[in-house]
Amino acid sequence: MACLRAISRTLAQQHSRCLAAGSLDVAAEQTLVAAGSRISAWWRPSGVRAFSVAPQDSGESISVTFKDEKDGTEQTVRVAIGKSLLEAAHENEIELEGACEGSLACSTCHVIVEDQDYYDKLPEPDDDENDMLDLAFGLTDTSRLGCQVVASKELDGLVVRIPGATRNMAVDGFRPKPH
């Protein structure tokens, strides 16, 4: 698994460098996209990563507000304790992308915590999350990956913003969010 993670990172870095240099031709782009997609499809690192390893739902829930910077919409939903913000967004048809489905192989689930006090309540992001956050569009001091933020009682009332664009270097570089 560590090997796959390294390959995935290398692909993302190569893609990023080529895009920056303007030297990525169509064939190379297709090769990188295909390889990145295959790895993302079946790679699941250990620890709290993919949806399925989130703590069990205890039956309680908290209030979380998602503000979409793309269209200015705002939606407050109930999120069961133990669920990630990415899961909650998808259950409520909120446009938070999540291209790698919580495998920490993209930054398309980037969210920005509005209130520093709430941000401080979150467990520190680990190195893998920080690596992906470094690739996120519009990174801020209170940025997190939505797939790694898990609902807990103390987060009741959390407000997060969804940036108006995403950047998924492992798959397709920068792109505006779909309408």
Which residues sit at the interface with ligand FES, rule CB under 6 A? 86, 98-106, 108-109, 132, 145, 147
If you search the block for the tokens 């910077």, which residue do you land on? 69
In angstroms, what is the minimal distance from the CB of 73 to ligand FES? 21
- What letter would DSSP give residue 118? H
Written as one string, the DSSP assignment of 84-115 is BHHHHHHHTT-----TTSSSSS--TTEEEES-
In angstroms, what is the minimal distance from the CB of 107 to ligand FES? 6
Q: Which two tokens stand for residue 144?
A: 């997190």
In angstroms, what is the minimal distance from the CB of 150 to ligand FES? 12
Q: Which is nearer to ligand FES, 60 or 126 (CB)?
A: 126
In angstroms, what is the minimal distance from the CB of 172 to ligand FES? 13
Q: Which is nearer to ligand FES, 106 or 113 (CB)?
A: 106
Q: Which helix (H) or strand (E) holds 142?
A: none
Alpha-carbon torsion, ordered 102, 103, 107, 111, to 10 deg: 30
Q: Which is nearer to ligand FES, 58 or 106 (CB)?
A: 106
Q: Which is nearer to ligand FES, 81 or 135 (CB)?
A: 135
In angstroms, what is the minimal distance from the CB of 59 to ligand FES? 25
Sign of the dihedral defined by the CA atoms of residues 153, 68, 12, 172, in that order: positive
Q: Which is nearer to ligand FES, 26 or 174 (CB)?
A: 174
How many other β-carbons are positioned within 10 Å of the β-carbon of residue 89? 26
Residue nearest to ligand FES (CB): 147
